[in-house]
Structures are given as structure tokens and as C-alpha cells.
A and B are shown apart, each in its own frame.
Chain A
Amino acid sequence: MPFVYLMRKSMESMPTLIGVTLLTFLLLKMAPGDPIYAIIGERVSHDREAMIREQLQADQSAWPKQYLKYMGNILRGDLGTSYITKQPVIQGFASRFPNTMRLAGISIVLAIITGIGLGIIGTYTKNAFFEKFLMVLTTFGISTPVFWFGLFLIYIFARVLGVLPASGMGDGEPAYLILPAITLGSRSAAYLARMTRTSLEQVRNARYVLAAKARGIQPYSLVLRHTLKNALIPVITLIGLDFGSYLNGSVLTETIFGWNGVGSYLVLAITQRDYPVIMGGVLLGTVIFIVVNIVMDFLYVLVDPRIELK
């Protein structure tokens, strides 16, 4: 019963949602730095400063009350407005989330193709040297600071070769996606390649695979249908985790490539102490985390019928 399962799973996630928002709320109450300093600039008269401060702290009730009020507003679909830009928080995220989604989607697809591809090649290649080389190559993806790799790509492809745009999103042309997606996806690709190999190696000599081989099934079909499918569970877990984190925005890649995503929006809000935006971002991130987990559960079932939705 997928629907019942979905309902139950969402109910079970509520404590996480409440925990994260509550923790953020408390953290913001305690951390120094007042949003007023981002609003008033360098010169303001004392009485105006007091007035603006009063407006910001209009709600003088105790924090549990404030928190409940905030959560109540959220249930009504009101995330508040930014202290700094006065823009509704929902709008701020709604305009950026599609960008993040696009980048995350392409990055993960890129990572899946190269990661699983390299993983398979690595497992089945006969050449020991080539195998090692592949391993080192994939490990490079997890060994370099992201921004460093990104700058390097910009220098090579946008400056020296001049074939790709260095930054921005253009009017949605795919060319603008390539470098950020490679930068972002390389780390996942490396992990995926590794996980695929580990997982494949455990399955490749399992009895049912050997049996299939004995029955004379085509090598391609053997790898894809019989072996890979059974090795997929840990790989899916990894894809889910990475995709979830990409959907939360990736401030470094976004900064380097001038990509207008939710990651840099949230970080800017944090540095300006723009509480409504921070809370909105944290909420969005938690919901994504929960949704991705549920989707992964469904995928497990699709891949391996032995697993049931409990």
C-alpha cells in the first residue's frame, strides 16, 4: 500500500522536521550578530536605529511562543518576508529553486553515467594497470577542493579554449550548465564509480550470475540485467544522498560560476542574519531530505522485488 506507506513515512519524519527547525531557531536566538547591521548601513541616527530595531523585534513574547507562531504561519503557507530585501521568502526560493534543480539534475545524471560506467569498466577490465589508472582518476574527483577544480575548468574551457561560457545561466542554454555540472558532479562520479565496483565485485561471482553465464547469456545482458541490477542498492543510496545535497544548493559551485541557486541565497541570508530566509531555507532543505529518503525507499522496491515497503 504505497499511499498508506507514504502517509506513515511522512508522519514519521515530522520529528526530524521539528527538530531541525527548532534547533535553527534556537541557534539564531543565541548566535551574535543582529540583522539590523545589514539594514542600516554605515550611518543612521540613534532614534531611527532604535525604531528599526523595535520593528525587527516586534514580537517580544518568549521564544517557545514565537516558534509556535512561526510554525503556525508555515502551516498557513506563510514563510514571512526577508528582513533585508523585503521580498517574500517563498518568492525568493521559488525563483531560485528551479535553477538549483536544473544544475542538480544534470550533475547527478552526469555523475551516474560516468560513475557507473567507470565502475563497470573498472570491474571487468583485464588490464591491471588500466584498472589502477581508473581508480586513481576517479579518486581525483574526491581529492580536490571543489572551487579549485571549478576555477581550473573555467580557465581551460572558457579562457584558453574559449568554447564554453565562464559563468551565469544565460537564457537557459545548456552550454551554461556544462562546467558547473562537471564541477559539482565529479565528486559523486568518483564515489559512484567506487561503490559500483565494490558492489559489483561482491555480486559478480554469486551463484545466480555464474548460472546465467553457464546458460550462455550474452555478456552485455549478463552485466546489465543480472549483475548490475543486484548491485544497485548501495549505489542508489549514494545517488539519493548526493542528489539530496545538490538540491540543497551548493554554495561554492554557485559562487564560482555565478549560478543563482538556493545555496548562495541561504549563505547570504546567514551572513546577514536574515532570519525568515534562513528558517525558510532550513525548512526547504529538511523537506528535500525527507522526500529524497522516501523516494529512495520506493526505488529499492523497484530494483529489488524482495524488499517490501514496511
Chain B
Amino acid sequence: MRLLVKNFIGIILAVSFLSGCGYKERSFDTLYLRLKKDVTTLDPAYIVDVDGGRLAAYLYNGLVRLDYALNVVSDLAEKWEISADATRYRFYLRDDIVFSNGEPCTAYHIKKTFERIVDPKIASPRSWIFEKVRGVQDVMDGTSDSVRGFIVVDDHTFDIELIEPFSPFLSILTTSNALVALPFDDDKIPYCIGTGPFTLAKWERGNKLLFDRNEAYFDKKPTIKFISVRVIPEDFTAITEFENGKIDILEIPRAEFEYFTETSRFKDYVHSAAILNTYYIGFNCQKDPYSSEKFRRTITSAINRDRIATKFLDSRVQLADSPVPPALLHDGITISPKQEYNPEQARALLNDINLDLKNPLVLYIRSGDREMEGVAELIQNDLAAVGLNINIEGLEWTTFKEKIAVGEAGMFILSWWADYPDIENFLFPLFHSSNMGGAGNRSRFSNPDVDSLIEQARVTVDQHKQNTLYQQALHIIMTEHPWVCLWHKKQFTVTQPWVRNYRQPSVYTVEKGTDIIMKKGK
């Protein structure tokens, strides 16, 4: 019996030996990365996902960009001026910038790129990034072809005029959608010509992407020659590839967090960063029984976030005090009231409320997300402990999003990831009543005071005044409990020892692959 098994293994070994001895040696000119699933597009006008934005950073540049400390720094524009009334931005472009096809990049290209985002024919879902620019509405309505607020002053000077002051505007210019790109004539090509440190050499849909170094890059040139990105859906497989040295940088999957952080071979090469995101349980504030603030408070105080975070999530998260990640809270904004775990209070509140339920309440999650499934089970357990029984329903992504967007789901676990590092990004889309549904306000929260506070803060440039307004808005949100704020998830990556100078960014647009050095040995 043993013999047979041995023979079987033997045959496989022999066959694998014959078939070209496994696979080629890897090259140290190339940085190997992994994607869980292929990106849908690399055309800045259509990018809506984190992975797309991450790869787009290799191909394109914006007028400005973020550094690792999340400051806005120069990119295509070497400097910029903002008018006293904060409605006119002037960008002075570098004069040595060329697209990878050799065409010089001028203010005219920037106007064209930005107009594409709002062009109804292009139908970019990210038109909102320019909604405050003068003349954008006319283009969106089709009454004008050109945006009046995008002004080409000369080849290397570009002005943007806003209809009113808009505090996060500079920060918005760092998003993936505001990257400057030269589209191909054929609109079926899902990427554009860029100015970035790399060019897209090959894209085998569903399988891999290959980036070549752009020898004409205007800024610091990368030392690596190629970046090869491969689609590996299964975590286990990706880990094996990493251990075999076939992937250079790997986001650590949750199940093997301990393995990587505790094995001596890897633990010195683990990087982490607080990512700008917030995980939350959203309540549909317009649906019974979640429309009652008291009921929302009951659930909030029944959930022991701390225990879930430390025991189940291995402290890979930072508990959230408010919807806004701490890195975006300017000094001077304090959060009150704080969310607290208080099962006795929850039990007492629940007795008070006198729920009359025909069907058990349902907590919706995205199916297939096994970490969230665990979190949901633990929440279910916490709620059962205070006497509230709920069911969990996992739906696949599209159905899940639809159920929430149309307001059918009463309670759901979701997360919000920053598009740009500004506190506004965590308040206006999420809690302003004009953004209900797919626009971001999925908890259908509507409070006129919050609305007007956020509106004022958005047009206030004075930092101190702005802080006060945001703090007041946050205070109302924290007392109304449209969310149970769960945590901000940190991201952990592990790199091969030969990958030097890698830093884990906290916003995905930061890493451009120009700093990394690949060197074997000490």
C-alpha cells in the first residue's frame, strides 16, 4: 500500500522534473505583487476601487499628491497659490513633463482630463469630485461643452475657479480620479497614457499586469525595472507563493497574522500602518425599529467591541471613538459623548422599549467575507446576552449593496475607506441628508442641524472655525447613534528581506514604487 502511494508521488515528481524543472528563476529587476482580484479599469475616470487606485499611482500623476505623512505636496504642479477668498486656485506646472508617448504635458491636457470626469458621454461615477467647480453643472446638464472654471492661463499655468470656498478641494485633487491621463481614441481600451514612473506594458485580463519603468519620468526614477502584478484569489495560495519567494510584498491575510508576526523569519519584515477607514454597523434610521434613537443606543451599548477587537481580531484594529479616523481629527476636535459598552444599561433600555417583533431582526453582512462573518457572530452573541435575538444574513456583494442602497436592510456591517485625507470625507457623504443611499449616507440619517453644520464647515477655510463646526456635528452624530462605530482597521504587510526602503502608506495613492530598492544579501 505504501509502495503505491510512494509510486504515485514518485511519478508526479518525475513528471514535474521532466516538464522543465518547475519554473524559471525569478529576476531581481522585477517587483512581484499580488492582487486578490483583477482591477476592472485603470482609466482614472472610472476607477472606484482601492486596488485600481493603487496601480493607477504607478501610471499617472496628479496636479498634487500626498506624501507618507498625508501632506499635500507638489507633483505635476511645482507650486500653487490660492486666492484670498479661497475660490481660485492657480497651479504652476513643471515644464519638463512628458507623457509616455513623448507628448509634453501642458495645462491644456489637464483641462481635458478634468473635463472628461464630468462629461456626460464618459459618465464617470466620480463626477462629484468637481461639483464645486464653476461651470461644471452646465456641462453635466449638457448646456455647455467646456467647463468655465478650468482655465488654461498659458501652457504651464492652470487655474481652477470654484463657486464657493471648499475646504477639502486640494485634498480631493489627490484622488485617483483626478490623475492626469491621455485617453486613447479607442474607448474600449481600459487605461490611458500617463506621465507616471511606470508604463503599462501588458495586461492579461484576469491574470496579470506588467509595468515597465518609464525612462522619461520627470521625478525620482524607480530603481526597479518592472512590476509584475499577478491575480491570486486564494489567500492560502498567495501565502505559499510568498514563502516560496515568488511575491515580494504581501498584505497579511487575517488567518496567518500570528504566523507572520511571530515567526522569526518574517517578523522583522512586517510593516503596518493605520489606514484611513472606519468599520461600522449601520442602522437604517428610517426603518422601524431602528428609527428609534433609544433602540440604536441599546444595540450600541450592548456590543463589546473591545473584546472582539483584542480576542478575535488580534488587535489588528484600533477602536473607533467616532466615524472619523483619529489622524483626520485636527487638534482641538474632541469627541463626546463616547461610545461605551454597558450591558446593564442595554438590558434596562431593552425592557423599556417593549419591542413588538413579528420577525427576528436581521444583521446583513457580505457573504464570503469570513472575518466579517465572525464579527457578526460575536455581535449576535453580545446582543443575545442582553436579551435581543437577531439573525445573520450574508448576501453576495451586489445584492448586499442594493439592499442597503434602497433602504431594505435595517442593520448591516460595512466600512468606509477614505478617498482623500480630509475629515469632510467622513462626514458629508456619510451623514448629510442629500447623500442618502448610493451617494454614501447608507444609514439614511437625516438631521437638519448636522446638515447645516457640515455645509458651513465645508465652505469655512479658517481652521479654528471649521473645527468647532465639525465638533458640533460629530457631537450630534454621537448622541444620535446612526452607527455603532466599530474600529479603524490597520493594514499589515510583509515584505521579502531583499525588498528595501518599502514603507506602508496609509492612503493607497501614496506609493509610487520609486523608493523601493531590491537587493539580495545583507
- Residues on A lying within 8 angstroms of B by beta carbon are 32-35, 37-49, 51-52, 55, 81, 84-88, 92, 95-96, 133, 137, 151, 154-155, 157-159, 161-171, 173-178, 182, 255-258, 260, 264-265, 268, 271-273
Kindly provide the distance from the CB of A37 to the nearest chain B CB, expressed in whole angstroms: 4
A44 to B188, CA, bound (A): 23
A43 to B205, CA, bound (A): 26
Q: When the two chains form the complex, which single residue of B17, B206, B238 contacts A265, counting CB atoms closer than 8 Å?
A: B206
Q: Is B4 an interface residue (CB 8 A)?
A: yes
A85 touching B396 by the CB < 8 A rule? no
Within 8 A of A (CB), among B235-250: 236-238, 240-241, 243-244, 246
* Cross-chain pairs A/B with CB under 8 angstroms, 28 sampled: A33-B398, A37-B402, A41-B49, A43-B419, A43-B429, A43-B435, A44-B125, A46-B437, A48-B123, A48-B140, A86-B190, A95-B206, A133-B1, A159-B243, A165-B22, A167-B234, A167-B237, A167-B241, A173-B20, A175-B16, A178-B12, A256-B234, A257-B237, A258-B231, A258-B234, A260-B207, A265-B206, A271-B397
The residue of chain A having its C-beta at the shortest distance from the C-beta of B441 within the complex is A43
A176 touching B23 by the CB < 8 A rule? yes
B48 touching A42 by the CB < 8 A rule? yes
Interface string of B404-446 (1 = CB under 8 A from A): 0100000000001101000000000100001101111000000
A154 to B205, CA, bound (A): 24
Cβ of A255: which chain B residues have Cβ within 8 Å of it? 233-234
A166 to B140, CA, bound (A): 49
Q: Is B232 an interface residue (CB 8 A)?
A: yes
Q: Is B138 an interface residue (CB 8 A)?
A: no
- Residues on B lying within 8 angstroms of A by beta carbon are 1, 4, 12-13, 15-17, 19-24, 37, 40-41, 48-49, 120, 123-128, 131, 140, 187-188, 190, 204-208, 230-234, 236-238, 240-241, 243-244, 246, 396-399, 401-403, 405, 416-417, 419, 429, 434-435, 437-440
B205 touching A85 by the CB < 8 A rule? yes
A178 to B11, CA, bound (A): 11
B233 touching A264 by the CB < 8 A rule? yes
Kindly provide the distance from the CB of B25 to the nearest chain A CB, expressed in whole angstroms: 12
A42 touching B123 by the CB < 8 A rule? no
B398 touching A44 by the CB < 8 A rule? no
A168 touching B16 by the CB < 8 A rule? no
A176 to B17, CA, bound (A): 12
B206 touching A260 by the CB < 8 A rule? yes
Q: When the two chains form the complex, which single residue of A137, A151, A175 contacts B23, counting CB atoms closer than 8 Å?
A: A175
Cβ of A161: which chain B residues have Cβ within 8 Å of it? 13
Cβ of B402: which chain A residues have Cβ within 8 Å of it? 32-34, 37
A272 to B399, CA, bound (A): 9
A154 touching B13 by the CB < 8 A rule? no
B16 touching A164 by the CB < 8 A rule? yes
- 7 smallest CB-CB distances across A and B, nearest first, come from A41-B48, A174-B19, A260-B207, A33-B398, A37-B401, A33-B399, A166-B240
B20 touching A52 by the CB < 8 A rule? no
A272 to B41, CA, bound (A): 14
Cβ of B48: which chain A residues have Cβ within 8 Å of it? 39-42
Q: When the two chains form the complex, which single residue of A35, A37, A166, A169 contacts B241, counting CB atoms closer than 8 Å?
A: A166
Contact of A55 with B123 at beta-carbon distance under 8 Å, contacts A164-B16, A168-B230, A173-B20 already known: yes
Additional A-B contacts beyond A49-B439, A159-B244, A168-B208 (18; CB < 8 A): A33-B399, A34-B402, A37-B402, A43-B128, A45-B127, A46-B437, A48-B127, A49-B125, A151-B237, A165-B22, A167-B240, A168-B230, A170-B23, A173-B23, A177-B19, A255-B233, A258-B230, A258-B232
B120 touching A46 by the CB < 8 A rule? no
A44 touching B40 by the CB < 8 A rule? no
